[in-house]
Homo-oligomer: A and B are copies of this chain.
Amino acid sequence: MDEVRVVLFGVGAMGRRIAKFLIEKEGVEIVGAIDTSKDKIGRDLGEVVGVKKKLGVEISNDADAVFSKAEADVMLHTTTSFFRQVYPQIAKALEHGVNVVSTCEELSYPYTVDETLARKIDGLARRYRVTVLGTGVNPGFVMDTLPIALTGACQKVRAIRVTRSLDAANRRVPFQKKVGAGLSLQDLEQKLKKREITGHVGLEQSMNLIASALGWELEDVKVAPVEPVIAERRVPSKVEGGVTVEAGQVAGLKQSGWATKKGRRVITLDMQMYMGAEEYELYKIEGIPPINMKNTPCMQGDLSTVAVIVNSIPKVINAPPGLVTMKDLPIPSATPEDMRKYIKE
């Protein structure tokens, strides 16, 4: 087959990282780029991405025009976290017969956000014979796909607990700001109230995805409000230009979700993202047999999200039409060779 033809919808921090990675890869070509930001429209993608060569792809805010011209196989979509907001963007790709892989957190399990809209996306995808997937490192991998896969070795599963703890001092500066590092508690509370800081989106999706894979009917799926973590000591950034947090300031955030079944807590997801946190993921499955797995350090979010998105391309192209979740696709796997190698005739 010819090269896999990709349109990017969203050329923000994540879209640019994906573009850079795709430019290096064999068997795949970026044939269109959509963004609504005025400082990007009309510019060459290569310039915006910072690869120091023109790619011949002009960033446009006219999705229809891009799709009409691009003859794309797949759209890689990185705009916002919220399903209702991305719906028209995704519908547009489907109507042009283009598969979709999106970082939209809520799309990783959209049925509990808006079932009608989820059915509509599924219907559109089937009508145009293409496939839609929401994924990423989290939701999409660390707190759902991987624990689901681990239960494959269990006869019984009583409860699942996943903890992801990451040191914001190691992360890019926008991430440090996203978790409120260096703010006063009062300023953080203001920003939370104004939704300028939202914390992690996706715990609800991860819990529902686990339950749907395990056939569990959950009674209650709760995501607790974001909790500030106050620095007990000074923590400098480990990356250039980052935040140095003083004792007493906000170091970052904690967030928990849990779900019950027959009155018992069966899923617990804990996120910790603050300056100076220990880096790990812990998977505890209470079952027969039990499983106790630890990843140190934790998955590097930006690198791994790019990986999960790009590695999903062939699986989404190969999949039957419709809206799918990670549990419906073959096991995740890297695509280190020419992308075309992974696509079925």
Contacts and interface: CB of A to CB of B under 8 A. Distances in A.
Interface in A318-345: 326-338, 341-342
Contacts of A329: 330-331
Interface stretch (A34-42, A146-154, A234-242): A146-154
Nearest to A287: B334
Among A152, A293, A310, the most chain B Cβ lie within 10 Å of the Cβ of A152
A117 interface: no
A303 B330 contact: no
A331 B293 contact: no
Contact of A152 (B213, B289, B334): B334
A292 interface: yes
B299 A153 contact: yes
B155 A310 contact: yes
A307 B153 contact: yes
A294 B291 contact: no
A163 interface: no
Contacts of A299: 153, 289, 291
Nearest to A326: B331
A308 B216 contact: no
A65 interface: no
B292 A145 contact: no
Contacts of A336: 156-157, 214-216
Contacts of A341: 215
Contacts of A294: 293-294, 296
A181 interface: no
Contact of A331 (B142, B148, B289): B148
Contacts of A150: 146
Given A151-B311, A293-B295, A331-B331, 9 more contacts: A141-B153, A148-B332, A151-B333, A153-B304, A154-B304, A154-B334, A214-B336, A215-B336, A330-B330
15 contacts: A21-B155, A141-B152, A145-B331, A146-B150, A149-B149, A149-B331, A149-B332, A153-B307, A154-B307, A214-B335, A214-B337, A215-B342, A288-B303, A294-B294, A294-B296
